[in-house]
């Protein structure tokens, strides 16, 4: 049956790699064409499925600015066969793209409130579009704080941008590392230790959290301790994904399909699931 | 069942004619037939391909064919196959990709599927098809491969005249009487006179097909006989799902000690998911040819019992048998309701019969229900 290309949500669109930049030792940022003259609009927190010819297809968050739907920016950590092949692509190479998929950060609903963004490691990548969104509409939000934790000073992602953000007077940007040499003057310790230092009104705060699952559990505990409501805490979940459209079953998390109900989910919805092992 | 005037009677020769008419109308006719010691669903040419005079004995981890003392066409319950083989094939090439230099092209691979006529679809199976419709057609994304197979089917349903040893559709509200979703529905009558079939039309196409068969109006005595047959089947179910709010029961018992108990028996072979008519999970495989110029993606049935199923960098989310069995059963009976507004189980009993160690989903629910205070964390 010869269905028109777009009618099969499992069929990727070939797009070219425009630029490739090394971020840290194992992580690269690729800018891709949208594969559509009109651009490929996305919301902060959404992801695309990226296919490397003959190797496989994986979910990768959009890490660029949603104001520019003509550039699909992805930050990829090379951890296995597909991500390694993806990160190794040079400009002009073609990848298959499907997306965008999923529910992103509730950036609109957060307007008027203080916003705390907590990122662990590569978790900064899916949060960056939310920060771009908020900063470009800065007056509509209360206080904004970014708390970012990573392994070592050499693992700091988007370093130049972080330095710029730290210089802003309308944004509190904290960076902490797990371990560092004597040349590091910043914080050392886990990112959740920064929560009490950040200034926000817990009764009127929306928190966006992305990082390894353990780190997110600790972040939730720290936010709860500070007085932030469960419904105001949003996490981006990671699960195995083969389809991204709710058909393959792989991403199930209790009653939720992380691909279509998430990846961003309010803690209120997943409270009973996140606390259990092997759900 | 409809009013008396809609009901007709056909003979075994009428069923033979039905297969001819459907074939002449361009359908590939799929029906029950004996394959490798079990009754499966395969392409058939005529009534001789049916399991004439066979029945099945089923129990936990047990399935055997046995001779009946009559020549019934449909005198058995369901076997290891279900219609999902045809609507949601076990393996399907989704597309092919070609590469030259830096360029890549994606080419649709799924050929126009045959138009299928299914003969012998049971009530539980009609419900299973309706459930997969919700999964593949009911969400924001439609699976075009499922849709193109599903759209054209002609369904000849059969009201069950015998219940299998592992059947429990009556307690799931999904059988044994067929409700909707068929073009024609047959009830086979083998006693008190000649071998005959009461026919009910479910659609206009079904009614048109019936006009091409030798038939006569059904006498009230046969309508009553058919009613009694279905009633008797409902009364002789081999298994029963406990009459309680099962979704809520499982929701509050995610840490029940019974999960450890079942984990000691389950082999994580995934048979239960393969034979289940509603299990829809798949994986995709990407491969290239030797020259590296063409690649392809194939979709295959997958099972939540494998380690790879929940693998994310660093390890599987559900590495213990306990967690994998719990995922399967809570999905079937509890979270499915949250996702699709219906249970994911139609009570067909396949997972019980085809489990090598005879694990019984109704028994597991009963054990959790009866031992609720034990390990309860609600
Ligand atoms: C919503 C979402 C957003 C993500 N965003 C990013 C991002 O921005 N940057 C980034 O670097 N990584 C991201 N990831 C993680 C990334 O998808 C995995 O690192 C990647 O799938 C690993 O595949 P691999 O083949 O390179 O490595 P391996 O871990 O060795 O994987 C082996 C095989 O397992 C499968 N597999 C492993 N993990 C996953 C998974 N999560 N989903 C599907 N299949 C998997 C793959 O099919 C792969 O072939 C995201 C994951 C999700 C679910
Ligand atoms: S879970 Fe078992 S009884 Fe229920 S529909 Fe699936 S195979 Fe049939
Ligand atoms: S329940 Fe039975 S059929 Fe299912 S995975 Fe376990 S051993 Fe296999
Ligand atoms: S990734 Fe396939 S169902 Fe979510």
- CB-ligand 2 contact for B346 (6 Å cutoff): yes
| B231 & B89 share domain | yes
List, for residues B95-149, the tens digit of each pLDDT value: 999 999 999 999 998 778 999 999 999 999 999 999 999 999 999 999 999 999 9
Q: Is residue B297 part of a domain?
A: yes
Q: Is residue B274 part of a domain?
A: yes
pLDDT over 90 at B211, yes or no: yes
| B207 & B117 share domain | yes
Do A96 and B104 count as a contact with CB atoms less than 8 A apart?
A: yes
- The pLDDT of residue A2 is 38
| B167 & B216 share domain | yes
Q: In the listed set B202, B235, B268, which residue is the last one of a domain according to the structure? A: B235
Q: Find, among B187, B183, B172, the residue nearest to B231 by Cα.
A: B187
The answer to the question of whether A251 is labelled as a binding residue is yes
CATH class of the domain defined by A13-101: mainly beta
Using alpha carbons only, give the angle A10, A16, A21 rounded to the nearest 5 degrees. Answer: 115
| B254 & B361 share domain | yes
B342 touches chain A (CB under 8 A): no
| B19 & B151 share domain | yes
CA B180 to chain centre: 15
pLDDT over 60 at A59, yes or no: yes
B263 touches chain A (CB under 8 A): no
What is the ipTM, given to two decimal places? 0.94
Q: Find, among A22, A26, A20, the residue nearest to A152 by Cα.
A: A26
Q: In the listed set B210, B235, B260, which residue is the last one of a domain according to the structure? A: B235
Rounded to two decimals, the pTM is 0.95
| B115 & B33 share domain | yes
Task: Please give the Cα distance from B351 to A214 (Å, whole number).
Answer: 36
List, for residues A222-262, the tens digit of each pLDDT value: 999 999 999 999 999 999 999 999 999 999 999 999 999 99
| B258 & B223 share domain | no
- The pLDDT of residue B307 is 96
Token pair in block for residue A110: 């957060």
Nearest chain A CA: its distance from B322 CA (Å): 9
B320 touches chain A (CB under 8 A): yes
Ligand nearest to the CA of B60: 3
The answer to the question of whether A259 is labelled as a binding residue is yes
Q: Please enumerate in sequence order all residues whose Cβ is within 8 A of that of B32, keeping only pairs 6 or more positions apart, or say none.
A: B39, B40, B41, B50, B51, B74, B76, B79, B119, B120
* Chain A residues whose beta carbon lies within 8 Å of the beta carbon of residue B302: 242, 248-250
Q: Please enumerate in sequence order all residues whose Cβ is within 8 A of that of B48, keeping only pairs 6 or more positions apart, or say none.
A: none
Mean pLDDT of chain A: 95
Q: Is residue B85 part of a domain?
A: yes
| B258 & B230 share domain | no
Whole-number Å distance, alpha carbon B268 to ligand 3 midpoint, is: 5
Do A3 and B317 count as a contact with CB atoms less than 8 A apart?
A: no
Q: For the residues A67-77, what does the mean pLDDT come to?
A: 98
* Chain B residues whose beta carbon lies within 8 Å of the beta carbon of residue A55: 286
- CATH number of A114-236, picked from 3.40.50.80, 1.10.40.50, 3.40.50.720, 1.10.530.10: 3.40.50.80
pLDDT over 90 at B292, yes or no: no
Give me the residue from B103, B281, B288 closest to A250, CB to CB.
B281
Ligand nearest to the CA of B277: 2
Q: Looking at the DSSP assignment, which residues form a beta bridge with residue B43?
A: B30
| B314 & B205 share domain | no
B168 lies in which domain range?
4-95+102-235
Whole-number Å distance, alpha carbon A244 to ligand 4 midpoint, is: 4
Spell out the domain ranges in chain A. Answer: 13-101, 114-236
Q: In the listed set B235, B256, B271, which residue is the last one of a domain according to the structure? A: B235
Q: Is residue B240 part of a domain?
A: no
DSSP string, B9-25: EE-HHHHHHHHHHHHHT
Ligand nearest to the CA of A123: 1
- CB-ligand 2 contact for B172 (6 Å cutoff): no
| B229 & B261 share domain | no
Please tell me the number of Cα atoms within 13 Å of A264 on its side-chain side: 25
- Tally of helices (H runs) and strands (E runs) in chain A: 6, 15
Token pair in block for residue B90: 């076990």
pLDDT over 50 at B162, yes or no: yes
B81 touches chain A (CB under 8 A): no
Total structural domains in chain B? 2
| B148 & B197 share domain | yes
**Angstrom distances, CA of residue B93 to CA of A135, A138, B278, B344:** 45, 49, 21, 26
Kindly list the protein residues whose Cβ atom lies closer than 6 A to any atom of ligand 3: B 266-272, 305, 355-357, 359
Whole-number Å distance, alpha carbon B169 to ligand 2 midpoint, is: 10
Task: Please give the Cα distance from A160 to A260 (Å, whole number).
Answer: 33
| B196 & B313 share domain | no
B310 touches chain A (CB under 8 A): yes
List, for residues A89-119, the tens digit of each pLDDT value: 999 999 999 999 999 999 999 999 999 999 9
CB neighbour class for B245 (10 Å; exposed up to 12, middle 13-18, buried from 19)? exposed
List, for residues A137-173, the tens digit of each pLDDT value: 999 999 999 999 999 999 999 999 999 999 999 999 9
Q: Is residue B188 part of a domain?
A: yes
Q: Is residue B378 part of a domain?
A: no
What is the number of the ligand 1 atom nearest to the C-alpha of A263?
A: 1
Residue A177 backbone class (left: φ over 0; alpha: ψ -120 to 50; beta: rest): beta
B340 touches chain A (CB under 8 A): no
């Amino acid at each position: 049956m010869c269905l028109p290309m777009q009618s099969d949500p499992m069929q990727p669109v070939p797009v070219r790699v425009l630029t490739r930049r090394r971020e840290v030792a194992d992580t690269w940022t690729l800018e891709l064409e949208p594969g559509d003259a009109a651009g490929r609009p996305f919301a902060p927190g959404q992801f695309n499925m990226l296919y490397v010819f003959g190797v496989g297809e994986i979910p990768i968050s959009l890490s660029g600015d949603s104001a520019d739907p003509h550039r699909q920016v992805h930050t990829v950590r090379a951890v296995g066969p597909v991500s390694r092949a993806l990160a190794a692509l040079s400009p002009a190479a073609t990848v298959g793209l499907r997306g965008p998929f999923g529910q992103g950060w509730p950036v609109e609903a957060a307007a008027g409130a203080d916003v705390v963004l907590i990122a662990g490691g590569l978790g900064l990548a899916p949060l960056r579009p939310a920060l771009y969104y908020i900063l470009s509409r800065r007056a509509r939000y209360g206080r904004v704080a970014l708390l970012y934790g990573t392994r070592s000073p050499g693992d700091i992602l988007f370093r130049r941008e972080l330095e710029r953000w730290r210089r802003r007077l309308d944004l509190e940007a904290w960076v902490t590392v797990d371990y560092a040499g004597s040349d590091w003057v910043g914080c050392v310790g886990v990112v959740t230790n920064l929560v009490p230092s950040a200034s926000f009104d817990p009764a009127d705060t929306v928190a966006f959290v992305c990082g390894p699952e353990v780190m997110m559990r600790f972040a939730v505990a720290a936010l709860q301790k500070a007085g932030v409501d469960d419904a105001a805490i949003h996490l981006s979940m990671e699960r195995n994904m083969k389809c991204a459209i709710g058909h393959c079953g792989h991403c199930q998390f209790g009653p939720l399909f992380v691909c279509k109900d998430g990846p961003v989910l309010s803690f209120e919805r997943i409270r009973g699931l996140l606390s259990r092992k092997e759900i | 069942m409809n009013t008396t005037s809609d009901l007709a009677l056909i003979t075994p020769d009428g069923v033979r004619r039905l297969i001819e008419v459907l074939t002449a109308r361009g359908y590939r006719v799929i029906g029950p037939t004996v394959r490798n010691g079990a009754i499966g669903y395969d392409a058939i040419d005529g009534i001789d391909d049916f399991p004439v005079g066979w029945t099945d004995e089923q129990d936990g981890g047990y399935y055997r064919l046995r001779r009946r003392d009559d020549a019934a066409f449909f005198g058995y319950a369901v076997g290891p196959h279900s219609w999902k083989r045809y609507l949601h094939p076990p393996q399907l090439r989704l597309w092919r990709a070609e590469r030259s230099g830096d360029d890549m092209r994606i080419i649709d691979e799924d050929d126009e599927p045959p138009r299928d006529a299914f003969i012998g679809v049971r009530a539980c199976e009609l419900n299973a098809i309706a459930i997969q419709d919700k999964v593949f057609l009911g969400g924001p994304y439609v699976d075009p491969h499922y849709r193109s197979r599903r759209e054209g089917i002609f369904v000849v349903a059969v009201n069950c005249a015998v219940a299998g040893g592992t059947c429990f559709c009556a307690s799931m509200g999904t059988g044994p009487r067929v409700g909707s979703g068929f073009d024609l529905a047959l009830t086979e009558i083998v006693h008190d006179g000649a071998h005959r079939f009461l026919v009910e039309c479910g659609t206009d196409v079904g009614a048109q097909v019936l006009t091409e068969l030798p038939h006569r109006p059904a006498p009230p005595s046969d309508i009553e006989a058919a009613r009694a047959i279905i009633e008797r089947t409902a009364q002789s179910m081999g298994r029963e799902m406990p009459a309680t709010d099962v979704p809520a029961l499982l929701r509050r018992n995610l840490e029940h000690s019974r999960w450890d108990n079942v984990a000691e028996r389950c082999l994580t072979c995934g048979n239960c998911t393969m034979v289940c008519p509603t299990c829809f999970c798949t994986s995709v495989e990407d491969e290239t040819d030797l020259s590296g110029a063409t690649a392809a993606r194939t979709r295959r049935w997958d099972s939540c019992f494998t380690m790879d199923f929940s693998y994310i960098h660093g390890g599987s989310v559900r590495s213990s048998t306990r967690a994998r069995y719990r995922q399967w059963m809570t999905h079937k009976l509890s979270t499915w309701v949250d996702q699709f507004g219906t249970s994911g189980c139609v009570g067909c009993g396949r997972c019980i019969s085809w489990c090598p160690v005879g694990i019984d989903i109704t028994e597991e629910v009963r054990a959790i229900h009866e031992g609720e205070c034990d390990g309860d964390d609600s």
